[in-house]
Amino acid sequence: MLHNVCVSKTGILTEGNLKVKKYLIGHSDRAIIHDAGIPSIYEQGISQDTQDLLHQTMIGSSDARFEPGQNVAGEAPQYRATGSAFEVALLNFLIDHNTEANAEIIKREERARKLLNIPFCPEKRTSFTVRMKPDDPTQVNIFSKGAPESIIGLCENVLTKDGELMECTGE
């Protein structure tokens, strides 16, 4: 059973510059759908456990990294996310919602070593990343990304905005 799911629709990229415009958390009849940034996910009554899982999934499934950007004298160093356009968009989404994604990436590298990466498969339209669980190195987290119709078929349950598990009906 998969616990952490991140889905996207593939399309033609002309600039490789993606931005999260909408997001869905929870089952369709109890979901929250808003334009990204208006308002913050923290203002939507989403449980802390669900917020933590959302962060863990975006950070854990990503191979994107932060590199130094242009610095202004007298100001804190600036970093920019680099990597695949999809993963950079997720990290920028976290930054836009006041998450210190750079610090989270550093913590991830220290506490949740990547064990396996299965790259995107065009036939199955999915990719997978396997990392050690930070709080129990004898267990792993499996993160998947891909086309929603491919990912949903792998799921038994869906996490609601309240942090409750509901049976996944595939709808």
> What are 58-72's pLDDT values in tens digits?
888 888 888 887 766
Confidence of residue 146 (pLDDT cuts 50, 70, 90): confident
d(CA 99, CA 80): 14
Q: Could you report the per-residue pLDDT of 69-114, keeping only the tens digit for each?
A: 776 676 766 778 888 888 888 888 888 777 788 888 888 888 888 9
**Domain ranges for the chain:** 4-167
C-beta separation of 105 from 65 below 8 A: yes
The pLDDT score that the predictor gives to residue 115 is 93
Please state the length of the chain: 171
Instruction: Give the pLDDT band of residue 2 (cuts 50, 70, 90).
Output: very low
Whether 11 has a pLDDT exceeding 60, the answer reads no
Q: Would the pTM count as exceeding 0.95?
A: no
- 39 versus 83: which is more confidently predicted? 83
Q: Which CATH superfamily is domain 4-167 in?
A: Calcium-transporting ATPase, cytoplasmic domain N (3.40.1110.10)
**What is d(CA 149, CA 154) in angstroms, rounded to the nearest whole number?**
9
